[in-house]
C-alpha cells in the first residue's frame, strides 16, 4: 500500500457523539483545517440565521447529525413488541425527513450490537426497523450509520466483525453503513488490530476516535497512523472524527486544537 495522501482525507469533530450541549457548538464554527462536522440533532432543528451564517462560513465538506432517536431507547427497541418497533420506525422516519430538509447528510442509529449480533430474533427485529426506514432514506438521500465498537465488547472481534458484515447485507440498502467507533487507548500498541475490524473497512463511512481526555490521553500522529494504514488497506475511504470524552466537555476545545494541528502536519508532510 502506498503512502496515504491525507490532503484527500476528511477530518472533523463528533460533537453529537461527545454529547455537547447544542449551545456550545458555536465555539467550533471557525474556519480551519477540519472539514467535517457532526452536530447534535437539535442544532439542525432549532437554529437561528447567525448560527447558519457561521456554519456556512466554515465550508465543511460534510455536515451530519448525531443520534436520530434517544440513545437509551434505540439500544433497547429491538427487544420490545412489534407495535412499539413500528411506532419507533415511524418517528425515526419523521426525524430523518426533518434532518434532511435542515441540511444533514446523515445520522446515527445506535443499536446495542452486543445484544443483537448472533441473536436471530434481535437481528430480525433491528432489520425490520431499518427496512421500514428504507423508503424515507431513499427519498431523502439520507445515510444512516450504525456504530460498531472497536474493540468490540462481546464474544470475539473476528466473530463480531463477520456477524456485522452479515447484518449489513441484511439491510438491503446502500443507505445504511457503519461508523467504526475506535477506542485506541483500549488496544495495546503491539496488538494485532486487523481481526478487530475484519472486512468492515469497506462498509464504513467514517471512523470516530473515542477516548477519555480527562486521563491525559491525546490522539497523536504516531498513534493515529497505524489505524489509518490498516483501514486504508481494507478499502476504507471515509472520514475521521475526533470524540474526546471529559467532564462537562471541558477538554473538547483543547483536544480539537491538538487534532487540527496533527491534521495540518499530516497534510504537509
Query: What's the whole-number mean pLDDT along residues 199-205?
Result: 95
Residue 204 lies in a domain: yes
> What CATH number does residue 258 fall under?
3.20.20.150
Nearest to 123 by CA among 146, 102, 140: 146
Q: What is the reported pLDDT for 38?
A: 98
Confidence of residue 47 (pLDDT cuts 50, 70, 90): confident
Q: What is the reported pLDDT for 157?
A: 64
| DSSP per-residue codes, 11-69 | EEEETTTTT--GGGGGGG---SS--EEEE-HHHHHS--HHHHHHHHHHT-SEEEESBSS
Query: What's the whole-number mean pLDDT along residues 172-187?
Result: 96
- Give the total number of structural domains in the chain: 1
Residue 1 lies in a domain: no
What is the residue range of 170's domain?
A: 6-267
> For all residues of the chain together, what is the average pLDDT?
94
Confidence of residue 46 (pLDDT cuts 50, 70, 90): confident
Q: What is the reported pLDDT for 1?
A: 60
Q: What is the reported pLDDT for 153?
A: 79
Residue 57 lies in a domain: yes
Q: What is the reported pLDDT for 158?
A: 65
Amino acid at each position: 500500500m502506498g503512502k496515504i495522501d491525507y490532503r484527500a482525507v476528511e477530518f472533523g469533530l463528533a460533537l453529537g457523539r461527545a454529547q455537547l450541549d447544542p449551545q456550545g457548538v458555536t465555539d467550533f464554527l471557525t474556519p480551519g483545517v477540519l472539514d467535517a462536522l457532526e452536530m447534535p440533532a437539535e442544532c439542525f432543528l432549532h437554529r437561528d440565521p447567525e448560527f447558519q451564517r457561521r456554519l456556512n462560513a466554515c465550508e465543511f465538506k460534510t455536515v451530519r447529525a448525531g443520534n436520530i432517536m434517544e440513545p437509551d431507547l434505540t439500544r433497547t427497541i429491538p427487544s420490545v413488541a412489534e407495535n412499539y418497533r413500528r411506532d419507533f420506525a415511524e418517528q425515526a422516519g419523521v426525524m430523518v425527513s426533518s434532518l434532511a430538509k435542515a441540511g444533514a447528510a446523515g445520522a446515527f442509529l445506535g443499536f446495542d450490537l452486543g445484544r443483537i449480533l448472533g441473536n436471530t430474533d434481535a437481528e430480525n427485529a433491528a432489520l425490520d426497523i431499518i427496512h421500514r426506514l428504507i423508503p424515507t432514506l431513499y427519498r431523502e438521500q439520507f445515510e444512516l450509520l450504525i456504530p460498531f465498537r472497536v474493540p468490540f465488547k462481546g464474544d470475539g472481534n473476528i466473530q463480531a466483525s463477520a456477524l456485522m458484515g452479515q447484518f449489513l447485507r441484511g439491510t438491503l440498502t446502500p443507505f445504511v453503513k457503519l461508523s467504526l467507533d475506535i477506542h485506541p487507548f483500549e488496544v495495546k500498541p503491539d496488538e494485532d488490530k486487523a481481526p478487530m475490524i475484519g472486512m468492515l473497512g469497506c462498509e464504513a463511512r467514517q471512523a470516530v476516535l473515542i477516548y477519555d481526555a480527562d486521563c491525559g490521553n491525546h490522539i497523536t500522529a504516531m498513534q493515529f497512523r497505524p489505524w489509518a494504514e490498516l483501514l486504508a488497506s481494507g478499502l476504507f475511504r471515509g472520514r475521521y472524527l475526533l470524540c474526546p470524552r471529559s467532564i462537562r466537555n471541558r477538554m473538547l476545545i483543547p483536544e480539537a486544537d491538538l487534532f487540527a494541528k496533527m491534521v495540518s502536519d499530516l497534510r504537509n508532510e
